[in-house]
Amino acid sequence: MGVQIVRIEGELPAGFAELRAEAAREGFGHIERLAMEWDAGEQRFEAEGEALFAAFEGGALAGVGAVSREHLEPELGAMRMRRCYVRPGFRRRGVGRALAGAMIQQGLAGAAVLTVNAGTPDAPAFWTAMGFTPDARNGRTHVLHGP
């Protein structure tokens, strides 16, 4: 059936509660933060160039990821890959790659530089495979320079 990437607007996607619970069980707080900021209306990824994406496989929510303005280095004029999470049962099946591809395409449409904080053990290798290079400073671990 393949992976379907959908831009999220208005409400968090069906199945988000389960994804949120799985992330919490793994000790990842960034999905809880996404939910809290979304519910409070603090961050809905509605500014120009920003987006929240959901990845579905077989009708089930498999992961989420967002793109927003990089606020830690405004002079860079970059976009930031953030809140990226793929549920354990969907890993190593191309979900993360499809989700990151959508995020990168969105980010490069709004900026020539993308940043990410690859904060989990497997994340640095993943983002490097997606074209990012290590560049640890100002809250980021990797950077991608567009064409």
Instruction: Compare 65 and 120 and report the one with higher pLDDT.
Output: 65
* Predicted pLDDT of residue 1: 65
What tens digit of pLDDT does each residue of 31-82 get? 999 999 999 999 999 999 999 999 999 999 999 999 999 988 778 889 999 9
Domains in the chain, ordered, with CATH?
3-145 (3.40.630.30)
Residue 9, Cβ density class (10 Å: 0-12 exposed, 13-18 middle, ≥19 buried) = exposed
What tens digit of pLDDT does each residue of 69-86 get? 998 877 888 999 999 999
pTM: 0.94
Cβ–Cβ under 8 Å, residues 85 and 28? yes
Q: Using alpha carbons, list the distances in angstroms from residue 27 to 67, 85, 120.
A: 22, 12, 10
User: In which band, very low, low, confident or very high, does the pLDDT at 18 lie, cut at 50, 70 and 90?
Assistant: very high
pLDDT-above-90 percentage for the chain: 87
* Predicted pLDDT of residue 119: 81
